[in-house]
């Protein structure tokens, strides 16, 4: 460890600290969620339970707010004074936004959450000491903490046989959250490597995107200019990076937006605005 090495690495460590983000991306997984198509049916959420070994907490713990749904479908009523909600409800699937400039990452005292070269906010369960600072600093509130040893009651025999062996079952005291089905990413990468080819768009999708009955969720790599998700982002003129909200779109009518964009966290999920007839 020479002085040169120290200084070089240190400057690397400091590089672009003001902007945030990993700088040598191999992929940048991202999503586009069309709220015009999302019907709020919860299929994505249940698919996530099935894929990711999410604990079933039961009524009492759900009441305390200790549920573990990595992907929750938030339902909002309109703020109108009318007698009835004539324009229906608003649904938004809310999961970890895999921010490029995530606020959860710098605050973890042990670097248990960090940015991968895939553009994911990885959560290293083994490293987590449970300070829960990351969750406090998440404006979306999509990080879920193992308040209990959920596995003790979640899967009585033989429900445990359903558990996905590709990822772990978490014990108490660690934070967890949506991983963009990192085990599927891993498998797809391994397969591509074995078959000596590049990873292709739609080689795989996340469990939620796969289940969605209306195909409201598009998943892919924004570094691949030909991927569906890249096209969607381009089409709606949503750019990666923080501070993008300061640049107005060429066509202001395009529907793409990112939740809490003004916080400059660079979310990887682009939502497309919900559409309603105004003439009724």
Partner 1 sequence: MEIKDKIIDENLGWQRINEDVIRSMDAPGKYYWITFAVCIAMVLCAVAAEIYQYRMGMGTVGLNNPHMWDMYIATFVFWIGMSHAGTLLSAILHIIHAQWRKPIYRFAEAMTTFSLMTAGFFPMIHLGRVWNLYWVLPYVSDRGIWPNFRSPLVWDAFAISTYLSASALFLVIGMIPDMAILRDHAKGWRRKAYGILALGWRGDDRQWRVFRKTYMLMACFLIPLAVSVHSIVSSDFAMSIMPGWHVTTFPPYFVAGALYSGCAAIMTLFIILRYFFRMEEYMTLNIMEKTCKLTFAIAMVWSYLNIIEFASTWYGHNTYDKELLINKANGPYAHIFWLMLFCGSVAPFALAFQKLRRHMPTMFAVSLILQLGMFVERWMIVAPTLSMAHNPHQWDVLYGSIIEWAIVFGSFGWFSLLFLVFVKLFPSVSMYEVKELTFHLKHEMEEEKEAAATSSKSKAGAVGKPGLEGA
Partner 2 sequence: MSKHRLLAMFKGFDDSLPVLRDIKAGGCAGVSIDDVDYLSPIEHPDIDEILERKVNVQKFTFTGAVFGVTFGFFFLASAQASFLVQPQGGKAVVPFPTNFVLMYEMLIFFGIWTTVFSFLFLAGLLRKRGTLYSEKLTVDQCGIMLEVDEHKLKSVKEYFKKQKSIEIREEAVT
Partner 3 sequence: MNDIKVNRRGFLKALGWGGAGTALTACDLPTTITLEEGKEEVVAYVVPEEYVIPGIGVWYASTCTQCDAGCGLHGRVREGRILKVEGNPDSLINNGSTCLMGQAGVQNHYNPDRVTQPMMRKGAGLQPISWDDAMAELSKRIKSTSGSKIAWVSGSVSGHQSVLISEFLSSVGSKNHFAHETINSSVWSQVCADMIGDAEPRLRLDKAQIIVSFGADFLGTWKSPVHFAGEYAKFRSGQRGMLVQVEPKMTLTGGNADLWIAANPGTEGALALGVANFILDRGWNKENVPGTVKQALAAYDVDTVAGLTGVPATKIQRIASLFSERAPSLAIAGATVEGQANGYDAASAVMLLNIIMGNIGNTIEAGNKFPERALRAKSGNTGDLVKFAQGLEDKKFDLLFFSNSNPVYTAPDALRVKENLSNASFKVALTQHPDETALAADLVLPLYSSMEDWGSHVPAYQPEKVSLSIQQPLMEPLYKDTRGFGDVMLSLLKVKSNAYNKFPDYYSYLKTAMVNMPESVRSGLKGSRDQMWTNLLQNGVLNAGSNTPKLTPKPRAIKAATVSKNSEYPMHLVPSARLGLWDGRHANIPWLQEAPDQISKVVWGSWAELHPSTAGKLGVQNGDFIRVSSASGSIETQVYVHKGIHPNVVAVPMGQGHSAYGRYAKDRGVNPLKILDAVSEEKTGELALYATRVKVTKTNKSEVLVKMGGSETQLGRGFVRTVSADQFRRTEGEA
Among 1, 11, 14, 76, binds partner 3 (CB under 8 A): 76
Closest distance between partner 1 and the C-beta of residue 191, in Å?
Answer: 29
Query: What does the alpha-carbon distance between residue 179 and residue 97 come to, in Å, rounded to a whole number?
Result: 10
Residue 26: closest CA among 177, 217, 179, 186: 186
141 binds partner 1 (CB under 8 A): yes
How big is the site for partner 1, counted in residues (CB under 8 A)? Answer: 43
Residue 58 interaction partner, one of partner 3, partner 1, partner 2, none, beta carbon < 5-8 Å per kind: partner 3
Residue 5's binding partner among partner 1, partner 3, partner 2, none (Cβ under 5 to 8 angstroms by kind) is: partner 2
Residue 218 binding: pick among partner 2, partner 3, partner 1, none (C-beta 5-8 Å cut-off by kind): partner 3
- Segment contacting partner 3 by CB under 8 A, of 19-27, 100-108, 116-124, 150-158: 150-158
DSSP 222: T
Which residues, other chains included, contact 129 with Cβ-Cβ below 8 Å and sequence gap of 6+? Answer: 109, 110, 112, 173
Region 260-279 residues binding partner 1, contact defined as CB under 8 A: 260, 263, 265
First to last CA, the chain: 70
Could you tell which of partner 1, partner 3, partner 2, none binds residue 132, using a CB distance below 5 to 8 A set by kind?
A: partner 1
What is the rounded distance in angstroms from the CA atom of residue 99 to the CA atom of residue 81? 36
Q: Does 90 bind partner 1 (CB under 8 A)?
A: no
Task: Give the tokens for residue 219.
Answer: 């998943």
Tokens standing for residue 146? 């193992």
């Amino acid at each position: 460890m020479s002085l040169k090495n120290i200084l070089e690495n240190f400057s690397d460590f400091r590089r672009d600290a003001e902007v945030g983000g990993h700088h040598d991306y191999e992929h940048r997984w991202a999503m586009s969620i069309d709220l015009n198509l999302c019907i709020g049916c919860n299929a994505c959420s249940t698919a996530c339970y099935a894929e990711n070994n999410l604990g079933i907490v039961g009524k009492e713990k759900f009441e305390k707010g200790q549920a573990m749904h990595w992907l929750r479908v938030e339902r909002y009523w309109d703020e109108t004074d009318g007698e009835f909600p004539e324009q229906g409800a608003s649904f938004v699937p809310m999961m970890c936004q895999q921010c490029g400039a995530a606020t959860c990452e710098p605050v973890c005292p042990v670097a248990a959450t960090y940015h991968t070269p895939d553009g994911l906010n990885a959560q290293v369960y083994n490293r987590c000491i449970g300070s829960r600072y990351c969750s406090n600093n998440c404006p979306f509130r999509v990080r879920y903490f193992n308040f209990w040893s959920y596995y003790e009651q979640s899967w009585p025999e033989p429900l445990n046989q359903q558990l996905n062996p590709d990822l772990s079952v978490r014990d108490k005291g660690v934070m967890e959250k949506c991983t963009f089905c990192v085990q599927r990413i891993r498998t797809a990468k391994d397969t591509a490597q074995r078959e000596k080819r590049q990873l292709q768009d739609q080689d795989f999708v996340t469990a939620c995107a796969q289940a969605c009955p209306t195909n409201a969720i598009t998943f892919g790599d924004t570094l691949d200019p030909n991927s569906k998700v890249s096209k969607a982002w381009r089409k709606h003129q949503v750019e990666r990076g923080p501070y993008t909200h300061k640049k107005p779109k060429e066509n202001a009518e395009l529907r793409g937006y990112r939740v809490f964009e003004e916080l400059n966290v660079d979310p990887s999920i682009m939502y497309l605005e919900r559409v309603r007839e105004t003439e009724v």
